[in-house]
Structure 1
């Protein structure tokens, strides 16, 4: 096939450099799996359904692995693509490709805005643990962080990869340290006194480390089957953007060797970093102890474990890592948004769009697409100053999370079409039993979307997502009506 050797060249074919090594990609994959939700949101998920949340994380992790196998097979076939969205255009048509491409880029921008806001919040919280109030400087903090991330993305792709490597190392170190701490506490039969946790409305009771913290009152659905069902939705959003590693393929050295390894290790990463962390947490903190504060927030389980272990500066430690996790997410979102806009610009007809399809001479990156994406993300602190905008912003951000489900489904449908097309590479990175596994993943995503209508805080985003699909999707299909598929 013509594309058989595409992964062997030193460049991506359009001027970009294959500057990401195997080490970079493996840690980018790990970083894409671990978000701030594990550090801050796992308490809420444990409170929702108890120890059975472990089964939920494993189950959803398997589905996301199937999605990544589909993306991996497509990217293995054509490792010069800067985004998996290109395959939707190729195998489902330009209409769906246009819908998915622009929707995905907008989703990246909205999530980037949300992450930028989160970075500012976490930074203020981190210094607040030392009695330093930086709330008045939050806007400047966000500007500095975003500027730093844009610069990292503009210098060279290898600089981006190195940054993500160290961001991931910090996250991994905290998780492993917490797991080791929990194991030592269990082995030694550690008992801890009652203590007040930072950001918690009550005094946490005294207790001990042991397996009985998990087994006492153990039930598959301790808070009812509806709560158990809704936990799948929560965990799904914790895995959101796991597909990012697929975007790096076109700038990776030896992509056909590196990509399968990165994807095949997803299950192992889920078991270690999610299941391992959750088990460690519940070995120390009885699962029934997790309950919300008056404002609905939950204390970080990581803070609780280290605080029980006697680490007085646990909150500062965890929020430092959370800052790196949010920064990593923002960095990756900028990278992905830049590449997606660059690829969208390739199909553009206006001079403005064509100008975005350019590569910088020194960094060999899509600089204009990155800068434009960064400027739009920077609107976040400005828009938050507008009266009444914050609730609207949260609504649209939640809507973007719903829209990404459509993109996942379209990707799986494109993969099915690929398997029956002349492009199919029988000796490629084959998704096992694709008819069954692909259908299973699609059914799961449909179920997750339907579950959005059951909760008041996700119902309106789900409705807006459907409106976006019908209106913008309809416009894209009408605009590209009659255009043939680009399959060979």
Structure 2
């Protein structure tokens, strides 16, 4: 039975769609490609980093989930920021988050071209990028259910690859499989174990790296507005998804370091490729390239879905008489915000043009870093909105409540602030952190001034 929301969107996403969207949106190139660099900095203690960050992301998702449980008709968590922190903060957050999503889409689109060129080196990058963007934009424009199916299978490929790695690793470690680096053994994790093997600075720098690997887990909340049985889905998605993600991450890391002593692991190539090659699979590089290609396509698909819903949300918050509301605040016959998705996809089309200039690529790298750092500010605002929700008439005493709220809420906010502060101690992240502050001050100031003028016009 088809369930249609009041705004015309269709609740077509089942629990399996939502679960896989959440898992697929978080497990990506950060694990398949970037984990080698993180392990090289901290060794086996990197697992503590994943556990600590996983705990705080769980708390953040419980806070967002609690607000969605009270009102599952909303399409984005930014709607709650507007409701509880005011339209000015919501306007600032909505535009900031949407722009950040566009840059994430652009980065993932660039990645897809890189991975395809592994097999087709003579095909122009711009042609690959346009082809992928057209296909995935078409998927998003057709129906939410088709998007959900695509994400389900994209995520399944990644999960199969991780399970294959874990099973291979268990057999190698149980049998003490000999390798050119010694032998596979769980004891490799504890040999000369230190919490700070390369100094406390490297350990601290691992936190932002792992934070950005988890970034995107909030995408699951954006599917709630189009999910069947939203109250049941919210609980399962928040409570079960992060646990599964941690199991996959921790399981993969244990296997990687059990087979390859962490001091011998190359930070410059995929640890998955290194493990499968040691296991005697020469085609490992091609297999993992296919997996990360689907991972990038999955992230691009989710980004387009999220960007379309966020721009639609921005449009609906504009005056009904405005052109933006009339064009982008509408739902198509297929139950999706088609105009908002199309605009987002058109902006992502800038990517093929950027690939023609090295200077543009350098600027893009800086801007992407800034937009990533902005997510810390957005997450913090979501937590502050949740605190206001708890004091509002919307609060459900018997709802899906954040555990130990009085302690965990301020603790999570403080943790996000500490992560942002740590960026200033990492050379590569300083520019992005400063850029995020400048953006907040400049765009935030412009936003508040604009909203003040609107209120003055309304009163007059």
TM-score range, shorter chain: over 0.9
Asked if the contact 1:33–1:269 (Cα under 8 Å) also holds between the matched residues in 2, the reply is no
User: Is 2:281 the counterpart of 1:307?
Assistant: no
> What SS does the aligned partner of 2:452 have?
coil
Aligned counterparts of 1:386 and 1:162: Cα–Cα separation in 2: 36
Aligned counterparts of 1:187 and 1:449: Cα–Cα separation in 2: 41
Map of 1:394 onto structure 2: 365
Map of 1:108 onto structure 2: 101
Correspondence for 2:302 among 325, 332, 348: 332
Residues 333-372 of structure 1 show CA distances to partners (whole Å, capped at 9, x for unaligned) of 00000000001001224314421111111x2111111011
Residues 71-115 of structure 1 show CA distances to partners (whole Å, capped at 9, x for unaligned) of 100111111101000000100000100000000000000111011
Map of 2:174 onto structure 1: 187
Q: How does 1:453-464 map to 2 (within 5 A)?
A: 453-464=424-435
1:165, distance to aligned residue in structure 2 (A) = 0.5
Q: Which runs of 5+ in 2 are unaligned?
A: none
1:290, distance to aligned residue in structure 2 (A) = 2.4
Asked if the contact 1:49–1:221 (Cα under 8 Å) also holds between the matched residues in 2, the reply is yes
Aligned counterparts of 1:478 and 1:351: Cα–Cα separation in 2: 21
Deviates more, 1:475-484 or 1:36-45: 475-484
Asked if the contact 1:416–1:435 (Cα under 8 Å) also holds between the matched residues in 2, the reply is no
Deviates more, 1:169-178 or 1:30-39: 30-39
Q: What is the root-mean-square deviation in Å for CA atoms of aligned residues?
A: 1.5
Map of 1:295 onto structure 2: none
Correspondence for 2:422 among 440, 447, 451: 451
> What SS does the aligned partner of 1:388 have?
helix
> What SS does the aligned partner of 2:223 have?
helix
Map of 1:196 onto structure 2: none
Asked if the contact 1:36–1:325 (Cα under 8 Å) also holds between the matched residues in 2, the reply is yes
Asked if the contact 2:23–2:245 (Cα under 8 Å) also holds between the matched residues in 1, the reply is no
1:302, distance to aligned residue in structure 2 (A) = 0.3
Asked if the contact 1:348–1:354 (Cα under 8 Å) also holds between the matched residues in 2, the reply is no
1:9, distance to aligned residue in structure 2 (A) = 9.0
User: Is 2:356 the counterpart of 1:359?
Assistant: no
Map of 2:74 onto structure 1: 81
1:387, distance to aligned residue in structure 2 (A) = 4.8
Asked if the contact 1:405–1:449 (Cα under 8 Å) also holds between the matched residues in 2, the reply is yes
Aligned counterparts of 1:308 and 1:346: Cα–Cα separation in 2: 54
Map of 2:91 onto structure 1: 98
Aligned counterparts of 2:401 and 2:242: Cα–Cα separation in 1: 17
Asked if the contact 2:19–2:241 (Cα under 8 Å) also holds between the matched residues in 1, the reply is no
Deviates more, 1:210-219 or 1:339-348: 210-219
> What SS does the aligned partner of 2:34 have?
helix
Correspondence for 1:122 among 115, 118, 124: 115
Map of 1:288 onto structure 2: 263
Aligned counterparts of 1:435 and 1:336: Cα–Cα separation in 2: 31
Asked if the contact 2:330–2:337 (Cα under 8 Å) also holds between the matched residues in 1, the reply is yes
Aligned counterparts of 2:48 and 2:245: Cα–Cα separation in 1: 11
Map of 1:203 onto structure 2: none
Residues 268-288 of structure 1 show CA distances to partners (whole Å, capped at 9, x for unaligned) of 213311111100111101011
Aligned counterparts of 1:35 and 1:473: Cα–Cα separation in 2: 32
Instruction: From the superposition, tell whether residues 418 and 392 of structure 1 become closer, same or farther in structure 2 (CA, over 3 Å).
Output: same
Map of 2:399 onto structure 1: 428
Map of 1:199 onto structure 2: none
Map of 1:17 onto structure 2: 10
User: Is 2:214 the counterpart of 1:239?
Assistant: yes
Asked if the contact 1:65–1:266 (Cα under 8 Å) also holds between the matched residues in 2, the reply is no
- TM-score, scaled relative to structure 2: 0.96
Map of 2:57 onto structure 1: 64
- TM-score, scaled relative to structure 1: 0.91
Map of 1:41 onto structure 2: 34
